[in-house]
Structure formats: C-alpha cells, structure tokens
Amino acid sequence: MLLCLFLTQPSPVFGGIESKLSKKIGENDAVLLANPSGKILFSKNGSKRRVPASTLKIFTALFALETLGPDFRFQTEFYLDKSSNLIIKGYGDPLMVSEAVKEIAETLKEKISTYNDLVLDDSYFTTPLTIPGVTASLQPYDAPNGALCVNFNTVFFKRKKNGTYISAEPQTPLLPFVMKKAKASKLKKGRIIFSQKRHEITLYAGHLFRHFLSKAGVAQKGQIRLGKAPRGTDRLIYRHRSRYRLEEIVSRLMEHSNNFTANQILIAAGAKIAKPPGTLDKGVQEAKHFAEETLGLDNLSIAEGSGISRENRISANTMLTLLKAFESYRHLLRYEDGIFYKTGTLYGISTRAGYIEHRDGRLFPFVVFFNTRGRSAEKLISDIVGLVQASN
C-alpha cells in the first residue's frame, strides 16, 4: 500500500500564536505541525531539507520493523567442529550484553565440558564498517558496528585509590584484554571504546565469552581466533535467540538514542533484503527503496541510520509522512507530558519530532528541525502545544 501524505496549505492564524512561533524560527530551521488527518496547521520551511540528527532514528526504526517484523529476534549460533573447536557466528545482535553471554555459557555447559580453540565468525557483516559521522572518540555514541559484538563495544571502568582498575559495572568483568586500554586512557573513571582495528571488537567478544564459559565450568585448551562457520563437518550445538523482540530493541533505542543499535538494525534489515554480508550501503539503499516504494518519498538524503552524520538531510514535510507511517509504533517513543517524541542533538543542531496528544486523545504530528546554533527545539514545544490546544 502506498502511504503518501497529501499536504495542504497551513490553516489560518490561531490567535496570533503562529506569528509568535514564526519569529522564533530562522531561515536554516524548519518547523511543521499537522492535525490528525495530515492537514498542516503551521509550517515554515517545511519543504527545505535540514539535518534531522537523531530524529532520523524514527525512519530507521520504521524500515527495520517493516522489513524484519516487530517480533523478529536476533540470533547467535554456536558450532563444534571435528577438532572440538567452538565456533561462534554473530548476526548483529545489538543487545548481546554480559547478562546474555552468561546465560549462553550456562546453556553451553550442558552440551560441552571442554573445547579447543574459540573461533569467532563476524562475516555476516562486512568488515570494517565505516559509519559517516563516527569518530575515534571515547564516547559511547562513536562505538563501531559489527556482526559479533558485546556490550555495545564498550567497557565502563574506574580506578581505585590504590591505583588498581576495576569494572564499574558488576555484571561485566574487567578482563586482561582491556586493561591496557584502561590504563592508556589515564581516566579515573570512564568508558573504553573498542575499535575495528585488528578486529578488536570481535576479539573482545571472544574474551568475554571465554570468561563466562570458564566461570560456568567449560574449559578451553586452545586460543581465541577468527574463523568462519559453518563448514560441512561443523555441528550446530546451540542457536541463541535474543530475549528481546525487535519492538523492545526499538523501544530501548528510542529511550537511549543509541547510535550503535540504530545502525545494527539498519544493516541487518539491509542484509535480509539484499543478502549477506550486511553493509552500510546495502542498509542505506534498501531503506531508500523502502521510502520510495512504500511511502512515496524520493527526497531523502541518508548516509547512515542513527542521525550522527551531518550528511543526512530530510525535510519537515518528509518527516511528517514518516510520522504518519510510524503512528502505530508511537508507543515505542518516549512519552512525557502528553507528547510522544524523539529528540536529536548535534553541535549547532537541535531537533524534535513526534505527536502531541490532544485533550480529546487525537494525535497531532509535529517536526522541529533547528539547524541554527543556539536554538533549542525543546523551548519551542510549549508554543506548538498552544497551537494544538487552540485547534478544533
């Protein structure tokens, strides 16, 4: 079904509120408000493409939900080869965290008591994955993507008064593999961000799996190394399905605005359509195709799925169409003071998009794209709410 939104001219002024609103919007900004049927109540620069920042995650989530399905669960496979090597094949699970690794280890101990090498297969996504806008910082929003990752490719640590380093998260050990990076950071407390250089993110996953396997009583005799599965003689001994459905992953994505998760689901959705290995380009191209064929949109400029790149450009009119298509998933957004919303922030960029709930329960989609340094999307919301309450 083609979900085009037919836009009309803005409605007459609501007691001067529109004039007040317009004065707060610069030429580099775009703001739009529509009623539940899609009729535009207010618009300034609605057709001009602006940097959406993290409000782009609404589009990424919609594409992934419609492609993979709300009930989709990421899988991770475990094989044993003829040499008793344990092989882990990742498929991009963004919520493979310490608690999940521990549970997997407890399950595997019922199937094996020992293994030789721990072989890591991250081939479902191409490597390395370069995401426009991601830099080599120590910030979690710059964590790299991959098919076999744990803990969002980060470790939170702190240094005690005696100079020793410990994990700042009780569920995650501070492994020898990461100690050198912790010391090199010279931080008293902070996060280590693993990189794709020398397959660091995949190897960290291997070290964490080995730790929890050892704690569960499964002994290793060999080394940790990269490899591929399955081969003809490999035996699948366990297929782990994430405890989280995609809807739940998206809900967490919207709550924490996690860039890593956004691009994981974008690449996974692209791989399903265009076949593996998953690449950023496949994810972006298939998302654009979805926008064109399903939503009737051909004016999106998308570089990646999280909104971290300033190369992303969409108009407020386009975001309105996306919001109408996303409406049935609105419960996955943050909800506060009668507003379902997603925020976005980059240096000099402040954005917000979502739905204002009218006192009678109707939903009024709104878009605020401030691309002017110093302007705050949040400060404009009360004026937009005023427009909604003044409408019939």
Predicted confidence pLDDT, tens digits, the chain (392 residues):
334 443 444 444 455 667 888 899 999 999 999 999 999 999 999 999 999 999 999 999 999 999 999 999 999 999 999 999 999 999 999 999 999 999 999 999 999 999 999 999 999 999 999 999 987 766 677 889 999 999 999 999 999 989 899 999 999 999 999 998 888 888 899 888 999 999 999 999 999 999 999 999 999 999 999 999 877 778 999 999 999 999 999 999 999 999 999 999 999 999 999 999 999 999 999 999 999 999 999 999 999 999 999 999 999 999 999 999 999 999 999 999 999 999 999 999 999 999 999 989 999 999 999 999 999 999 999 889 988 887 76
Structure-token pair, residue 291: 């926008």
C-alpha 90/C-alpha 281 separation (Å) is: 20
Contact between 257 and 346 (Cβ < 8 Å): no
DSSP secondary structure code for residue 10 in this structure: P
Half-sphere exposure of 75 (CA within 13 A, CB side): 9
Structure-token pair, residue 63: 């594409």
DSSP secondary structure code for residue 249 in this structure: H
Identify the burial level of 53 via C-beta atoms within 10 angstroms of its C-beta, where 0-12 means exposed, 13-18 middle and 19 or more buried.
buried
Instruction: Say whether 75-244 and 17-69+247-390 share the same fold.
Output: no
CA distances from 140 to 110, 135, 185, 257, 261 (A): 35, 11, 14, 11, 11
Strand order in the sheet with 154-159: 165-167, 154-159, 189-193
b/e burial code for range 345-368 (CB count within 10 A of at least 16 → b): bbeebbbbbbbbbbeeeebbbbbb
Contact between 156 and 123 (Cβ < 8 Å): no
Q: Which of 257, 281, 253 lies closest to 267, judged by CA?
A: 281
Domain ranges for the chain, please list them. 17-69+247-390, 75-244
Give the pairing of strands 114-115 and 75-80.
unpaired
In sequence order, the β-bridge partners of residue 136 are none
Which class is 75-244 in CATH? alpha beta
Dihedral over alpha carbons 367, 370, 375, 379 (to 10 degrees): 0
The reply to whether omega before 70 is within 30° of 0 (cis) is no
How high is the pLDDT of residue 341? 98
Q: Is 273 helix (H, G, I), strand (E, B) or coil?
A: helix
C-alpha 64/C-alpha 200 separation (Å) is: 27
Which class is 17-69+247-390 in CATH? alpha beta
Structure-token pair, residue 229: 């599965």
How high is the pLDDT of residue 13? 45
Q: Which of 317, 308, 214 lies closest to 266, judged by CA?
A: 308
- What is the distance between the terminal CA atoms of the chain, rounded to a whole angstrom? 30
C-alpha 61/C-alpha 326 separation (Å) is: 9
pTM of the model: 0.94
